[in-house]
Structure 1
Amino acid sequence: MTTDAAAAPPAGAPSSGTPAPTVSARPRASLGARIRRDRQMLLLMVPGAICLLLFFYIPIFGNVIAFKDYQPYLTISESPWVGFENFLELWDDDRFLLAFKNTLVLAAVQLFFTFPVPIGLALLADSLVSPRLRKAFQSVVYLPHFLSWVLVITLFQQMLGGAGFINQQLAQHGMDTIPFMTNPGTFPLLVAAENIWKDAGWGMIIFLAALSSIDASLYESAASDGAGRFRRTWHITLPGLRPVIVLLLVLNLGSILSVGFEQFILQRPLVGADAAEVLDTYVYYEGVLGGGWSVGAAAGLANGIVGTILVLCANKFAHMLGEDGIYRGSAK
């Protein structure tokens, strides 16, 4: 026979007819309270926000001259509207089509050769056991990021130029010199090498920060199960880096048409305009030097529109892979 005490629920447990107690949500602070709480950080943001407003957002309105026949002696409002005539002129301009083609080729080569290098450098630096050796390696690889493109091109010219160190050694040994810096056919590879040498260290720092967030117990468990270095890298490290890889890939695709200005305008006299003419240099020579302000603005606006479309497509692809990308998709 079952007693009432045995049938009763344990002490402290809610009865079947009584709903479980709910934890009340913490009330959200008011806007004024949050401003007072974060006032120091907001004050630190003011100079950067002002510079961003003055030198980025306000000049965006100047893109209206892409739809006008802008003349420097007239104001923007006085310049006549021409609609899409400037864009149609770009479509008929062989120089613009050449610059667009060169930009796509150079951007694809840079993305293919440059993007994986920081990942490899981060894995190499993370595998170094000695902290002192690791710091020295990071400093040496990261240092070229602070050099200007003028200095970078000068260093490459001293090493690979016609009178550079390598060609001097080849000539002294009776071999033919190699036109590293003046060969239009290998110019995309030269550009990729320059970008790797200059900016691979910056990307390495980002991936090293992502590596530090991976739980070390995962490696210990995999090693205890007999997984070697390659399998640990393939099944733990790379999946842990995937969110950062996807994010940087989306951002790089957004700026894929902005391959750089200084790097190409400095080397344009060496390899010729047919190889080094990109959209940025086209806007400079056509808009600033040539006086085609409206056509140059149309080229720059088209560049920004294509970059925006690429970012949206790449971010959508990131959502398909299960990653957030640069912003979260709408909840379903």
Structure 2
Amino acid sequence: MRYRNLGDSGLVVSEIGYGNWLTHGPDGEMCVHAAVEEGVTLFHTAAAWGRGAAEESLARGLTGTPRDDVVISTGVFWPEEGGPSRGGLSRKSLFASLHGSLRRLNTDHVDLYHLLRFDYQTPLEETFTALSDLVRQGKVHYVATSEWTAAQIQQAAGLAERHRVPLVGNQPQYSMLWRVPESQVIPACERLGIGQLATVSLAQGVLAGRYTGGTVPADSRAAGGDLARALVWPLLHEDLLSRIEPLRGVAGARGLTMAQLALAWVLQNPLVATVVVGASRPEQVRENVAAAGVRLDLDVLGQVDQLLGSFVQTDPRLTFTPPQYRTTDVVGL
């Protein structure tokens, strides 16, 4: 495993992080054990995932691991349960959600607290005043945004400085196919000393080669629940899959699997501190971890660009949280 600082902060994270959006049962706990064994230190979850079950599963998986050896990251925005005052980034929501997270995670603090979407219905000043209190209480050590625009991050950074909130991370979708944050979000974060925690870097398994050959494996996300299928099926274009299949040869020529190539591609960006990736089996964790420290030469990067061509998304306007989007639909980051 290799390690990097998150932005300009002193927080050190593993190049490969583990996220448990979909895997928070017994199999997920075995994956957490494997991740610890492989040197993974960043573990990401969220209060709403599985209505709290993901945090409880992570806590069980980390039983016996010294607390100070890991970076526990959780997030707030969607409600864990119903009620008109639940969800969003209000002071009430932040305090209630965090205290629930601490109870489920069996810890007295989280190392990194994610604001999982921008909340148009709560003044940002209110959010950062509440975060300042939680930081002073020692319950939150660092703060990160997730899927915020460059302008929103810039506004947040000003408030974070004023209220002495260590805003050190941003969590964008970022992959060979989804390069949306490159033109505005990542440059803005670089100026502000904010590091990237990349997610969805395997494009729901598409860039791992799960769907090449025209089949949908029974254990894949595309064969899972309604939400997982909704995220995967739009990517299953025949033309796109035909372009992804040759990546198997590009990866194999360098002794890599397709998943390792995809994760290593993201890590070529020095502004990315970690790639957060899930797994349903311990062997997938070990495969993912092998992407740490891999250097890709310009020839490989050029082949990737040539193969994916017009399917690469770059429009910065795609980083956007609609004003009406608040708490009803949980998407997996």
TM, length-normalised to structure 2 = 0.25
Greater strand proportion? 2
Larger radius of gyration: 1
Greater helix proportion? 1
